[in-house]
Structure 1
Amino acid sequence: MLDPEIKKTTKNICGDFNIKIDKNGLWYYQGTPINRKSLIKLFSSILTKDKEGIYWLTTPYERGTIQVDDVPFIVVDMKNKGVGSLQEIDFMTNIDRIIPLGPRYELWLDSKANIGNDLPYIDTGKGLSARLARNIFYQLIDLGEVIENQNESYVRIWSRGKSFRLGSF
């Protein structure tokens, strides 16, 4: 079911655009890689995800679906400043977007049945998210502190005054 507001403003629903974003954040059109980063950035600026989990490219004139294997973006770099609860962590995605980790853009771990362990994700807005590349997740763990209590031990990090749990052991 289309959002009524989108129905009003979009003239032509085109169906599937035959665009795919693979699990590594690589974009394809009709099975051929899209190598122009500027085109990927343009497409990502009009990308949304609806309540049913369907990804759409929407312009004022047309709207169509695309396939996304996991999430549309991958975090490929990280910068941090400060320490403890005053620390600020910024992530950069594969489309050069800076995502400030904190209350607005939260980090979570999600278990994927096909790989058997938790993967780290961050909200990027508009119902979209990015997965942290493995090396970035390891860098994040290096910044963490181990919290031990009677029931469990886990790693936690802070960014912009908010605490995020990175997993238990």
Structure 2
Amino acid sequence: MPYDPPPELAGLSLTQVAELVAARRLPPVDQWAPPVTGDSEMRIAADGRWFHQGGEIRRPAMVRAFASLLVRDAEGHWLVTPTQKLSIAVDDAAFVAIDVKQDGDALAFRLNTDDFVIAGTDHPIVAEGDPETPALYLGVRHGTRARLNRSTYAQLVEIALEQGGGDAPADALADELAVASNGVRFALRPA
């Protein structure tokens, strides 16, 4: 069965994004307590590419299926099924946020796995690194997160400037650079 990716984020309203999020049936990985643990021999590179035993997994539907089984805890990232919990090496974040759109008071993100995430309390935007070269992450699900790619980061900065622009001096804006989504304010520079 061929995989049909969802429409581009720019052409969707927040309501349509929310409907796509609700329609995605994800396995109840948080309810499973598999008796067997092991190593998946898989790795997710910092650029979002997936590898198994050194070879790249090139089928988007397969990556999307594996991504639906991901969880992260204090010990690392795992692929979870009802019978197995397999470790997976993750170079940075399990997902990459590749697009963002502001719709009203919400920010909707598209991930490299064609998932959509709406930032808010359950999906926070976190700035890490140092103030001069921050790395931005978005909470996804089950402890996993997405790193914003360069263009998405630039889009988010533009949104921050529009949201807080006003007549403040540029250096004051740099210190206060933040965005809001679903009533939550997120700093775009690490503290």
SS at match of 1:80: strand
> Which one has the bigger helix percentage?
2
Mean alpha-carbon deviation: is it higher for 65-74 or for 98-107? 98-107
Letter in 1 for 2:177: V
Choose from 83, 91, 99 the match for 1:77. Answer: 99
Choose from 47, 59, 64 the match for 1:24. Answer: 47
TM-score by length of 2: 0.72
After the TM superposition, list the runs of 4 or more consecutive aligned residues in structure 1 that deviate by more than 4 angstroms: 146-150
Task: Report how far residue 32 of structure 1 moved.
Answer: 0.6
TM-score by length of 1: 0.81
Task: Report how far residue 12 of structure 1 moved.
Answer: 2.6
Deviations 1:128-165 (A, max 9, x none): 10001111111111111256798x83212121111111
Correspondence 1:13-162 to 2 at 5 A: 13=37, 15-52=38-75, 54-82=76-104, 87-111=105-129, 117-144=133-160, 145-146=164-165, 153-162=175-184
**How far apart in 2 are the matches of 1:55 and 1:143?**
31
**How far apart in 2 are the matches of 1:78 and 1:16?**
34
**How far apart in 2 are the matches of 1:163 and 1:98?**
20
RMSD after superposition: 2.3
> Which one has the bigger strand percentage?
1
**How far apart in 2 are the matches of 1:98 and 1:81?**
14
Task: Report how far residue 104 of structure 1 moved.
Answer: 1.9
Name stretches of at least 5 consecutive residues in structure 2 with no aligned partner: 1-30
Deviations 1:6-35 (A, max 9, x none): 5xx42432x211100000011000111101
2:79 touches 2:86 (CA, 8 Å); kept in 1? yes
2:110 touches 2:117 (CA, 8 Å); kept in 1? yes
Name stretches of at least 5 consecutive residues in structure 1 with no aligned partner: none
Letter in 2 for 1:155: L
